[in-house]
Amino acid sequence: MNLEKLKAIQEELSRKVVLEDMFSLDEVRYVVGVDQAFLNDEVISCAVKFTFPELERVDEAVGVEKVDFPYIPTFLMFREGEPAVKVVRKVVEEKTVILVDGSGIAHPRKCGLATYIAISVGKPAVGITKKKLYGEVVKEDGLTKLKDGERTIGYVLKTCKRCNPIYISPGSYISPETSLRIVEMCLRGYKLPEPIRMAHNLAGEVKKSLLSNLKA
């Protein structure tokens, strides 16, 4: 496996990133949460769609397929990207923002899973992670920012009293500021924004069902 070649692909994709809002916050009609789980050599990909800002659950899609790319940190787009894109395409429509359990531009090569999904689907995507992958945490203007030199590449947000913060960065077609605002508006008292939390739960349910079938 030629990691240098894969890095070059990521760097090429990163040059396509647009950190301007494709549409304004008040134009957003839907948000789609994306998460995945693994069972042996299969990836379970889930996308759950909600109205915005009401967060009424209106649609979902699930895909299960084999993967042969190994788990390598900072290269998840090559393992999880295409399966995620397939389920997102089934539910996405105009004026939709995609929330991804994975990095956006807060990534060593400015091209995390959320960036891959945004560019592949042609819709705004926001990356949310539980751990910092890249960037310097700086408190500035009353906010906790992720910085790359002088550039703001995302935000750090403590979403509940007893939980560690989450790390938010745009994938593409959305600004860091609007990314933060949408995540804040999708919180319902839990660590993760509701669309991702529900996609995570759905992936867990599908995995449990598949395990039961294997044991039957």
Q: Concatenated DSSP letters for 101-156?
A: EB-SS-STTS--HHHHHHHHHTS-EEEEESS--SSEEEEETTEEEEEETTEEEEEE
Residue 129 forms part of a structural domain: yes
124 CB neighbour count, 10 Å cutoff: 28
Joined tokens for residue 144: 């906790």
Whether 76 is in a domain gets the answer: yes
139 within a domain of the structure (yes/no) = no
The residues, ordered by sequence, that sit 6+ positions from 132 with a Cβ below 8 Å of its Cβ are 106, 146, 156, 167
Which range marks the domain in which residue 96 is found?
3-133+166-215
What would the pLDDT profile of 78-87 be if each residue is shown by its tens digit?
999 999 999 9
The predicted structure's pLDDT at residue 145: 97
What integer pLDDT is reported at residue 99 of this predicted model?
98
Element (H, E) at 168: strand 166-172
Q: Is the pLDDT of residue 123 over 70?
A: yes
Which CATH number belongs to the domain containing residue 15 in this structure? Answer: 3.30.2170.10
Instruction: Please state, rounded to an integer, the average pLDDT across all residues of the chain.
Output: 96
pLDDT confidence of residue 214: 77
Q: What is the mean pLDDT of residues 59-74?
A: 94
At residue 216, does pLDDT exceed 70? Answer: no
The pLDDT assigned to 91 comes to 98
Beta carbons within 10 angstroms of residue 59's beta carbon: 14
In a domain, 96, yes or no: yes
Give the amino acid at 158: K
**144 in a structural domain:** no
Q: Return the amino acid letter for 66.
A: K
90 within domain boundaries:
yes
User: What does the alpha-carbon distance between residue 209 and residue 151 come to, in Å, rounded to a whole number?
Assistant: 45
CA distances from 133 to 20, 59, 73, 168 (A): 22, 31, 9, 11
- pTM of the full structure: 0.96
68 inside domain: yes
Task: Give residue 153's pLDDT band: very low, low, confident or very high (50, 70, 90).
Answer: very high
* CA 71 to chain CA centroid, nearest Å: 17
Question: For 37-64, what is the mean pLDDT?
Answer: 97
Name the burial class of residue 6, with classes exposed (0-12), middle (13-18) and buried (19+) by CB atoms within 10 angstroms of its CB.
middle
Alpha helices in the chain (DSSP H): 3-14, 76-91, 113-121, 176-185, 194-215
The percentage of the chain sitting over the pLDDT mark of 70, rounded to a whole number, equals: 100
Please state the domain count of the chain. Answer: 1
In a domain, 141, yes or no: no
